[in-house]
């Protein structure tokens, strides 16, 4: 039974009294350091760690509400097989027996692991080692395929290795930052604040945003280029030509440190007769294009900061290389304030790449292309059955699950039924698959419904292990509280299964640090710098080398000081900036220019369609399993929406704030129309977060075509042509409920409240007019009040249990009626005297009282109307004075970009 008990070493430092632990935020790739206060086995407060180099004490709204995500609500507490709770022994035997039998009958490629950039490095390392070294298949892929595959492949092509050529300090010292295909004001708020602060200190610094949408980041930029979706490589190829024509190349750098410049320039030129063609290809004004080119050319220190608008594309690798080409051509790389900076999305996408968790990698920045690399890993692991070829990439992997070739899949820390393109195919594939294992923390995730075996995983605050953020900084997450029920660390679960598959000796780890040491040792195994004096014939150079940590003590590991790799004999304290010596990880030590033929997205819209773009909102994290539990994080944006340009609204007869339906691939998405000039004509934007646990029909990726980049397999998630039409509701309303319910309406969307939930509802069917419409949902209630308010055209129904308000429903056929249910939300679960019962029914929810408008500041709950009033009254003339009066923007600062828009 020892596999269900925490060893002393993994038990929390303290389960009584207050302790403070230095740990990390588990959300985005910024990788902020946190100081968490723990009391009675609970994290009761978090604040930014001033010593952590990623954030120097700051946290965004997601990080600063981490402690509110805790609690047993929806936690998975026990392993399950086919819906029944079982012991860990039974669960891991079920998996091992099934995998063994499948492998024996159909070979190692009939099984697969699908992992996540949210696993810790130690979890990732053992999963990768088990599949690639011992089961003998390359079929380990990860959600990083949906996220970082393009950048990874581009780095490899240009630099010889997947190394990010930049660090956060460069964002403070750059004189110009080109933010392309990224919205850091929402997605990487703390590094964004760093850029803005640097510009405040020196207004000569420039921020250029290149994004088809006018995002929060774009609004605060010196220049915004709303380019045609997918035209980014035209933009950077055009820049390369411009730099050559204007005599702005660094010929010396090109000659000394690069290879293939002429061909890259000639290829770029082959698509344009002159620079005005570039403006046409990008669909922007020539003057704007030239203004941005001039900034790049004339500024010494330039960073290009790029993310999913570049990566999630059928030609994402080329786009990233088009960017890198321009930095190499001007020598704006490998020095302070200059570089092509691919920002990572997930907290440990980098760690995943370091262990080799993509199916196209082997381990520790070694690959399958070279048999010496395979041999190196084989010897180090003493692997009996090393994989010798790449495995399947995510989209192909689920295709083969669907075709029946893959017969057993283990999914860890990711929710592919929501996040994969053509997500309904993934659903069908998992339905058919004979063995689906899901390691998860929460019950309310869409993928878990298709699991044969569910494994309860420990999560943030409970598990210990290392992560690497976007700028190569390794930090260690601390185990501060005991995991609930029988939940276990992912690496422990994987090693238990490895033991049962017969690989006990190779997976004999007692503590996360044992795995970390092995990973560190592998990174330095037969690895020497090409210019090193002591160099063995068979050595294979990798920049990724953390071998100085191969013997780290447990206590040093637990108190690890965040450090940027490489960390080796030559650099025991890490390295701030990489490629400063112009020595790259290629065979000839020179960086490669890659000739790029710019391409548009593969599937363009027909006349009846619009282009669907998708991405993040400020306060939610991915499929909402954690952030969807926090009431205040639901206030900034509380419903799936569709941002539409006014021309398209007219063309498709869509009304503002009404529902519309998108369709593609036989799937629908229902969201609230938001008419805005922030969108270009013919293009819409939808948030990625909502799913079947939070709304009727809002899994956006079910509408995304599974088109991928041929070079890296990353899907074109930012670009899918879809149809759009009004939803044609006949009524709309809301339900406030103490319990979660299954809504029978064709549209619903769930919002977490401080107490209970709120459901926004609409339907195409007419509504009844008495309490029987709720009777099926609440069979236990027999105390109802119903009021049909003819004047306001509202039906209101309140249900009580023991005189306490249990649910409240209001609806109207007037679709423009704006309800404000704040007062009523506050009455939930309270025993109400007659007077209050009367107030509930009196229409207090529709008189606008207490309506603060759209929520801007989630930390202090300050709404748009309150801000407008304060400005109108003449009391507030700046963001700072708003903060003084209303507190907005004074905690995490995530809303500052929006506060600024009130003054522009």
Ligand X SMILES: Nc1nc2c(c(=O)[nH]1)N[C@H]1C(S)=C(S)[C@@H](COP(=O)(O)OP(=O)(O)OC[C@H]3O[C@@H](n4cnc5c(=O)[nH]c(N)nc54)[C@H](O)[C@@H]3O)O[C@H]1N2
According to the binding rule CB under 6 A, does residue 688 interact with ligand SF4? Answer: no
Instruction: List the one residue out of 728, 606, 610, 599 whose CA is nearest residue 679.
Output: 610
User: Are the C-beta atoms of residues 366 and 540 closer than 8 Å to each other?
Assistant: yes
Binding partner of residue 307 among Mo ion, ligand X, ligand SF4, none, CB cut-off 5 to 8 Å per kind: ligand X
The footprint of Mo ion (CB under 5 A) covers 147, 345
Q: Between 419 and 637, whose beta carbon lies closer to Mo ion? A: 419
Say how far apart CA 45 and CA 39 lie, in whole Å: 9
Q: Between 396 and 490, whose beta carbon lies closer to ligand X? A: 490
Q: Closest residue to ligand X, Cβ-based? A: 345
Q: Between 474 and 795, whose beta carbon lies closer to ligand SF4? A: 474
Maximum separation of any 2 CA atoms in the chain, in Å: 89
Structure tokens belonging to residue 70: 């805790």
Total residues binding ligand X (CB under 6 A): 60
Mark residues 218-237: x for contact with ligand X by CB under 6 A, - for none: -----------xx-x-----
Q: Between 61 and 753, whose beta carbon lies closer to ligand SF4? A: 61
Binding partner of residue 237 among ligand SF4, Mo ion, ligand X, none, CB cut-off 5 to 8 Å per kind: none
Other Cβ atoms less than 10 A from the Cβ of 572: the count is 10
Q: Closest residue to ligand SF4, Cβ-based? A: 63
Other Cβ atoms less than 10 A from the Cβ of 125: the count is 30
**Least Cβ distance, residue 449 to ligand X (angstroms):** 12
According to the binding rule CB under 6 A, does residue 523 interact with ligand X? Answer: no
Among 414, 495, 664, 693, binds ligand X (CB under 6 A): 414
Instruction: List the one residue out of 484, 489, 456 whose CA is nearest residue 79.
Output: 456
According to the binding rule CB under 6 A, does residue 363 interact with ligand X? Answer: no
In our burial notation (b when 16+ CB lie closer than 10 A, e otherwise), range 337-363 reads bbbbbbbbbbbbbbbbbbbbbbbbbbb
Compute the Cα dihedral for 42, 47, 48, 50 and give only its sign. negative
According to the binding rule CB under 6 A, does residue 118 interact with ligand X? Answer: yes
Q: Closest residue to Mo ion, Cβ-based? A: 345
Q: Which of residues 695-714 bind ligand X (CB under 6 A)?
A: 700-701, 704
Element at 866 (helix H, strand E): helix 864-872
Element at 519 (helix H, strand E): helix 512-524
Q: Which of residues 787-826 bind ligand SF4 (CB under 6 A)?
A: none
Structure tokens belonging to residue 595: 């000739």
Say how far apart CA 421 and CA 424 lie, in whole Å: 8
Binding partner of residue 59 among ligand SF4, Mo ion, ligand X, none, CB cut-off 5 to 8 Å per kind: ligand SF4
Say how far apart CA 34 and CA 478 lie, in whole Å: 10
Of 30-38, 234-242, 356-364, 723-731, the window that binds ligand SF4 (rule: CB under 6 A) is 30-38
Contacts of 400 (CB under 8 A, 6+ apart): 112, 392, 406
According to the binding rule CB under 6 A, does residue 349 interact with ligand SF4? Answer: no
**Least Cβ distance, residue 125 to ligand SF4 (angstroms):** 22
Question: Which pairing describes strands 731-737 and 804-812: parallel, antiparallel, or unpaired?
Answer: antiparallel
Structure tokens belonging to residue 316: 């994402």
Among 46, 59, 185, 686, binds ligand SF4 (CB under 6 A): 59
User: Are the C-beta atoms of residues 397 and 141 closer than 8 Å to each other?
Assistant: yes
Among 108, 133, 136, 189, binds ligand SF4 (CB under 6 A): 189
Q: Between 182 and 289, whose beta carbon lies closer to Mo ion? A: 182
According to the binding rule CB under 6 A, does residue 27 interact with ligand SF4? Answer: yes
Any idea what DSSP says for residue 643? E
According to the binding rule CB under 6 A, does residue 25 interact with ligand SF4? Answer: yes
Burial of 772 (0-12, 13-18, 19+ CB in 10 A): exposed
Strand, coil or helix: what is 662?
strand
Q: Which of residues 49-68 bind ligand X (CB under 6 A)?
A: none
Q: Between 426 and 870, whose beta carbon lies closer to ligand X? A: 426
Among 12, 53, 63, 456, binds ligand SF4 (CB under 6 A): 63
Contacts of 717 (CB under 8 A, 6+ apart): 146, 308, 312, 421, 614, 701, 704
According to the binding rule CB under 6 A, does residue 62 interact with ligand SF4? Answer: yes
Say how far apart CA 563 and CA 573 lie, in whole Å: 7
Contacts of 6 (CB under 8 A, 6+ apart): 482, 483
Long-range pairs, 254-259, Cβ under 8 A, ≥24: 254/328, 254/329, 254/331, 256/582, 257/328, 257/582, 257/583, 257/584, 257/590, 257/591, 258/328, 258/329, 258/590, 258/591, 258/592, 258/593, 259/586, 259/588, 259/590, 259/591, 259/592, 259/593
Binding partner of residue 32 among Mo ion, ligand X, ligand SF4, none, CB cut-off 5 to 8 Å per kind: ligand SF4
Q: Between 374 and 722, whose beta carbon lies closer to ligand X? A: 722
According to the binding rule CB under 6 A, does residue 53 interact with ligand SF4? Answer: no
Contacts of 541 (CB under 8 A, 6+ apart): 527, 528, 529, 530, 585
Q: Which of residues 475-504 bind ligand X (CB under 6 A)?
A: 490
**Least Cβ distance, residue 122 to ligand SF4 (angstroms):** 20
According to the binding rule CB under 6 A, does residue 309 interact with ligand X? Answer: yes
According to the binding rule CB under 6 A, does residue 117 interact with ligand SF4? Answer: no
Strand, coil or helix: what is 636?
coil
Among 21, 308, 314, 762, binds ligand X (CB under 6 A): 308
Any idea what DSSP says for residue 506? G
φ, ψ for residue 352 (rounded to 5)? Answer: -60, -40
**Least Cβ distance, residue 29 to ligand SF4 (angstroms):** 7
Backbone φ/ψ region at 789: left (φ over 0), alpha (ψ -120 to 50), beta: beta
Q: Which of residues 190-209 bind ligand SF4 (CB under 6 A)?
A: 190
Other Cβ atoms less than 10 A from the Cβ of 430: the count is 22
**Least Cβ distance, residue 28 to ligand SF4 (angstroms):** 3
Element at 296 (helix H, strand E): helix 286-298
Binding partner of residue 661 among ligand SF4, Mo ion, ligand X, none, CB cut-off 5 to 8 Å per kind: none
Among 377, 409, 418, 807, binds ligand X (CB under 6 A): 418
**Least Cβ distance, residue 52 to ligand SF4 (angstroms):** 10
Q: Between 348 and 664, whose beta carbon lies closer to ligand SF4? A: 348
According to the binding rule CB under 6 A, does residue 31 interact with ligand SF4? Answer: yes
Residue 533's alpha-carbon distances to 525, 529, 537, in angstroms, are: 17, 9, 12
Q: Between 79 and 117, whose beta carbon lies closer to ligand SF4? A: 117
Among 38, 43, 46, 60, binds ligand SF4 (CB under 6 A): 60
Say how far apart CA 786 and CA 800 lie, in whole Å: 12
According to the binding rule CB under 6 A, does residue 563 interact with ligand X? Answer: no
Among 102, 215, 752, 827, binds ligand X (CB under 6 A): 215
**Least Cβ distance, residue 701 to Mo ion (angstroms):** 12
Of 208-216, 283-291, 465-473, 545-553, the window that binds ligand X (rule: CB under 6 A) is 208-216
**Least Cβ distance, residue 346 to Mo ion (angstroms):** 5
Q: Between 129 and 616, whose beta carbon lies closer to Mo ion? A: 616
Q: Between 147 and 151, whose beta carbon lies closer to Mo ion? A: 147
User: Are the C-beta atoms of residues 664 and 721 closer than 8 Å to each other?
Assistant: yes
According to the binding rule CB under 6 A, does residue 614 interact with ligand X? Answer: yes
Binding site for ligand X (CB under 6 A): 28, 116, 118, 143, 146-147, 180-184, 186-188, 210-213, 215, 229-230, 232, 307-309, 312, 345-346, 412-416, 418-419, 439-442, 445, 457, 459, 463, 490, 613-616, 618, 620-623, 625, 688, 700-701, 704, 717-718
Binding site for ligand SF4 (CB under 6 A): 25, 27-28, 30-32, 55, 59-60, 62-63, 188-190
């Amino acid at each position: 039974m020892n596999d269900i008990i925490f060893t002393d070493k993994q038990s929390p430092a303290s389960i009584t009294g207050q302790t403070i632990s230095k740990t990390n935020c588990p959300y985005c790739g910024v990788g902020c350091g946190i100081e968490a206060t723990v009391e009675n086995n609970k994290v009761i407060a978090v604040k930014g760690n001033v010593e952590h180099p990623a954030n120097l004490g700051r946290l965004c709204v997601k990080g600063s509400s981490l402690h509110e995500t805790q609690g047993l609500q929806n936690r998975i507490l026990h392993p399950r097989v086919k819906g029944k709770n079982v012991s860990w022994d039974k669960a891991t035997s079920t998996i091992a027996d099934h995998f063994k039998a499948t492998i024996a009958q159909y070979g190692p490629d009939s099984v697969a692991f699908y992992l996540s950039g949210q696993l810790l490095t130690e979890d990732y390392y053992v999963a990768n080692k088990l599949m690639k070294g011992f089961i003998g298949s390359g079929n380990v892929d990860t959600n990083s395929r949906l996220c970082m595959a393009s950048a990874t492949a581009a780095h490899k092509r240009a630099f010889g290795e997947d190394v990010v050529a930049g660090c956060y300090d460069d964002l403070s010292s750059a004189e110009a930052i080109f933010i392309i295909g990224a919205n850091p004001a929402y997605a990487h708020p703390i590094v964004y604040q760093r850029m803005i602060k640097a510009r405040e200190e020196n207004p000569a610094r420039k921020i250029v945003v290149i994004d088809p949408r006018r995002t929060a980041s774009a609004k605060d930029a010196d220049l915004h280029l709303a380019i045609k979706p997918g035209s980014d490589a035209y933009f950077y190829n055009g820049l390369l030509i411009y730099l050559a024509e204007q005599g702005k190349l660094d010929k010396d750098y090109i000659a000394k440190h690069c290879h293939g410049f002429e061909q890259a320039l000639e290829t770029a030129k082959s698509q344009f007769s002159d620079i005005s063609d570039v403006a046409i290809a990008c669909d922007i004004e020539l003057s704007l294009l030239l203004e941005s080119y001039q900034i790049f050319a004339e500024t010494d220190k330039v960073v290009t900061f790029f993310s999913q608008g570049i990566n999630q594309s059928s030609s994402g690798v080329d786009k990233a290389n088009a960017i890198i080409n321009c930095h190499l051509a001007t020598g704006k790389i490998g020095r302070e304030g200059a570089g092509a900076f691919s920002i990572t999305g997930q907290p440990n996408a980098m760690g995943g790449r370091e262990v080799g968790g993509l199916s196209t990698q082997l381990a520790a920045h070694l690959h399958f292309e070279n048999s010496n690399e395979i041999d190196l890993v084989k010897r180090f692991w003493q692997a009996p059955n090393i994989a010798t070829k790449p495995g399947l990439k995510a989209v192909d992997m689920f295709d083969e699950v669907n075709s029946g070739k893959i017969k057993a899949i283990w999914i860890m820390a990711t929710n592919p039924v929501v996040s994969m393109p053509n997500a309904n195919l993934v659903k069908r594939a998992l339905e058919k698959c004979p063995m689906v294992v899901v390691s998860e923390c929460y019950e309310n995730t869409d993928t878990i419904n298709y699991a044969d075996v569910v494994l309860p995983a420990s999560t943030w605050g409970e598990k210990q292990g290392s992560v690497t953020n976007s700028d190569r900084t390794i930090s260690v997450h601390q185990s501060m509280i005991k995991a609930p029920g029988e939940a276990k660390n992912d690496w422990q679960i994987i090693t238990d299964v490895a033991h049962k598959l017969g690989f006990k000796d190779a997976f004999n780890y007692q503590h996360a640090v044992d795995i970390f040491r092995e990973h560190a040792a592998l990174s330095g195994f037969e690895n020497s710098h090409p210019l090193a004096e002591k160099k063995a014939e068979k050595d294979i150079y990798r920049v990724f080398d953390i071998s100085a940590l191969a013997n780290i003590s447990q206590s040093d590991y637990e108190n690890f000081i965040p450090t940027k790799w490489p960390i080796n004999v030559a650099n025991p304290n890490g390295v701030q900036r990489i490629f400063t010596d112009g020595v790259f990880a290629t065979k000839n030590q020179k960086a490669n220019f890659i000739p790029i033929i710019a391409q548009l997205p593969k599937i363009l819209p027909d006349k009846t369609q619009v282009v669907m773009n998708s991405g993040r909102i400020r306060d939610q994290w991915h499929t909402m399993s954690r952030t969807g539990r926090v009431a205040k994080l639901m206030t900034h944006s509380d419903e799936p929406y569709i941002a539409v340009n006014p021309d398209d609204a007219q063309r498709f007869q869509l009304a503002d704030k009404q529902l519309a339906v998108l369709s593609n691939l036989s799937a629908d998405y229902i969201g609230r129309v938001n008419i805005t000039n922030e969108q270009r004509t013919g293009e819409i934007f939808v948030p990625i977060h909502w799913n079947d646990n939070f709304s009727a029909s809002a899994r956006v990726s079910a509408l995304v075509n599974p088109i991928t980049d041929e070079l890296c397999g990353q899907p074109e998630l930012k670009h899918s042509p879809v149809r759009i039409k009004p939803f044609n509701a006949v009524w709309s309303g809301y339900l406030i409920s103490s319990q979660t319910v299954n809504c029978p309406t064709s549209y619903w969307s769930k919002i977490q409240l401080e107490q209970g939930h709120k459901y926004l509802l609409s339907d195409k069917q007419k509504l009844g007019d008495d309490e029987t419409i709720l009777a099926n949902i609440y069979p236990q209630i027999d105390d109802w009040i119903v009021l049909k308010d003819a004047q306001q055209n509202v039906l209101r129904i309140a249900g009580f249990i023991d005189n306490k308000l249990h649910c409240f429903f209001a609806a109207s056929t007037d679709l423009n009626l704006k309800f404000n249910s704040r007062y009523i939300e506050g009455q939930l679960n309270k025993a109400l005297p007659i007077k209050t019962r009367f107030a509930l029914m009196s229409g207090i929810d529709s008189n606008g009282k207490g309506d603060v408008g759209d929520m801007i500041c989630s930390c202090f709950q300050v709404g748009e109307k309150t801000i407008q009033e304060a400005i109108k009254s003449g009391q507030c003339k700046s963001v700072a004075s708003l903060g003084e009066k209303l507190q907005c923007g004074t905690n995490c600062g995530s809303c500052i970009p929006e506060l600024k828009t009130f003054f522009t």
